[in-house]
Amino acid sequence: MKEFDELLEVINRLFSPDGCPWDKQQTLQSMKKHILEEAQEVVEAIDEGDSDHLLEEIGDLAIHVISLSIMAKNDGLFSLADVLVIAKEKLLRRHPHVFSGLKVNSVEEVLENWKRIKEQEKDKKIDRSLQ
């Protein structure tokens, strides 16, 4: 999507050698309070029912997600592409009623499946950490 690519280009520029001193100084740790503030502002905008405010706040949250991914890449942890792949895979796994032909009859069944799948994911993470 053109708009996403343009935003990514702007944020990458902020973290570049000739970018913004404040942005370049930030770390994953230093961004924690900003992420919480932005998430709270999204919630407030939803509660207000103000779509213009919500649009702005979701944009701010998107900036933070992309920025965190860039910081993680700069720290040698993972890339934005990795984040997008993991998010897509999680959605596919947790929605078998949409993507894998599982039949459900209610929202409750969807939620039960979600919980079961999430527990299976946790078990796999524990198994991998023990190896």
Q: What is the pLDDT of residues 38-95, one digit of tens each?
A: 999 999 999 999 999 999 999 999 999 999 999 999 999 999 999 999 999 999 999 9
Return the structure tokens found at 70: 């860039």
Read off the pLDDT of each residue in 98-115 and give the average, rounded to a whole number.
93
Q: In this structure, which topology does domain 2-80 adopt according to CATH? A: Helix Hairpins (1.10.287)
Confidence check: pLDDT of 123 > 90: no
Return the structure tokens found at 96: 């078998």
Give this prediction's pTM. 0.84
How many residues does the structure list for the chain?
131
Return the structure tokens found at 80: 């934005």
| Lowest mean per-residue pLDDT among 7-11, 18-22, 29-33, 127-131 | 127-131
Angle at CA 63, nearest 5°, toward 2 and 121? Answer: 95
Q: 38 in helix, strand or coil?
A: helix
Read off the pLDDT of each residue in 18-31 and give the average, rounded to a whole number.
96
- Cα 72 to chain centroid distance, Å, stands at 13
Contact 8, 63 (CB under 8 A): no
Amino acid at 96: P
